[in-house]
Structure 1
Amino acid sequence: MGNSDQRLEQNKQEEPISVLSRSLLTGFVGGLLGGFFGVVLYYFNFSEVSPKSYLLRSWLTASWVDGWLGTVLSILMIGVISLLTAFIYFILFKKVNSLWMGIAYGAALWFIVFYVIQPIFPNIPSLGDLNANTIVSTICLYILYGTFIGYSISYDYTDTLHKLRSEEERNK
């Protein structure tokens, strides 16, 4: 009896993770990496804006916000917010398998964060008041983020379609 149970267990195929689930995971990981590198840019004075400035300091005045806990919580929050950006990319651009779409997506996200929604963050300087290092380094970070999200999602979508078509042809 034990031997047949093992064979049945071996014959079970794991349910594949959907492309959307992998895209959301990509978004979360991209957000964690982007948040981490945003903190690094701030720490080494490449940027005068830290992730904490946007997410926590705008609404909280507690002392823990300026410590390591605020940094870790900000990075995690960026990972969660990044789920939304990955979902939007998945819905709108998953079929566009090009680095340029990811670059454009990252630049568009930068414009939205630093120009469109900036007024709701009172402690962040306006775009005209930011120094050149901050502008250049954050644009580069957002472009890298957009490229990571965009190309990963598009590649995964295209690869999954290719595998499904190959499998269908083998089953004919």
Structure 2
Amino acid sequence: MESQMDKKIIKEKQMGYTMKVVLIGFFGGLIWSGIGYFSYYFHLTEVGPSFVLLPWALGDWKTGHWGQVIGIAVIAFLSVGIAFIYKWCLQKVNSMWPGIGFGALLWVLTFYFLNPFIDQLKPIQSYTFNTIITTLCLFLLYGLFIGYSIAYEYSEQNYAANNEKSV
């Protein structure tokens, strides 16, 4: 049987929920933009992770390897903010569908609403079918990863808090 001191030590070693959201966002952005670079490299999509640099960076370097790598890093850091948006809006829904919907919303925002602000990003109708499907799937999987991970951590926090109250 665990003593109260053991439970307190275990609780102190656990990472806080906010830090978990930060890590989920960062690694979600890192993993899925990395897969996006893989897709871009093998010509499954015409849009690589460096699309986030297009409005700001000057020169052709941004479409090369280092531009893609820097794009992955930028997306990883931006993804932390996106994870907090999901946390504030949908953390209580413990299902995969809100995450998939969130990913679809991000895809629509990126390719329809942000498109006019990024000159080098072509209108969605001018991309190939492979590019549209690949980017949509990447965004859906990214949203699923962020959403389900945050919902899981939220339910774990509540479960731990409820069990602690009953002891």
Q: Paired residue for 2:26?
A: 28
Residue 81 of structure 1: how far off its partner (Å): 0.7
- Equivalent of 1:113, from 98, 110, 113? 110
* 1:127 equivalent in structure 2: 124
Q: Deviations over 1:57-109 (max 9, x none)?
A: 33323354344322221111000110111000000100000000111010111
Rg (Cα) greater in structure: 1
Aligned to 1:154: 151
Quote the sequence identity (%): 37
Instruction: Report the counterpart of residue 7 of structure 1 in structure 2.
Output: none
Residues 105-150 of structure 1, C-alpha deviation per residue, up to 9 Å, x if partnerless?
1011100001111111111111111111011011100000000000
Distance 2:157 2:54 in 1: 41
Partner residue in 1 for 2:5: none
Q: Distance in 1 between matches of 2:60 and 2:109?
A: 29
Q: Report SS of the residue matched to 1:40.
A: helix
| TM-score, normalised via structure 1 length | 0.86
Query: What letter matches 2:45 in structure 1?
Result: S
Q: Is the 8 A contact 1:20 1:90 kept in 2?
A: no
The number of residue pairs the alignment matches comes to 159
By how many angstroms is 1:20 displaced? 1.9
Q: 1:17 is paired with a residue of what secondary structure? A: coil
Superposed structure 1 runs of 4+ greater than 3 Å apart = 11-16
Is 2:51 the counterpart of 1:19?
no
Counterparts of 2:34 and 2:158 in 1: how far apart (Å)? Answer: 33
TM-score of the two chains, using structure 2 as the length reference: 0.88
Provide the C-alpha distance between the structure 1 equivalents of 2:87 and 2:153, rounded to a whole number of angstroms: 11
- Structure 1 residues 1-172: aligned runs within 5 Å: 14=12, 16-52=14-50, 54-170=51-167
CA distance, structure 2, for counterparts of residue 36 and residue 45 of structure 1: 14
Which amino acid counterpart does residue 116 of structure 2 have in structure 1?
Answer: P
Residues 20/12 of structure 1: CA separation in 2 closer, same or farther (3 Å cut): closer
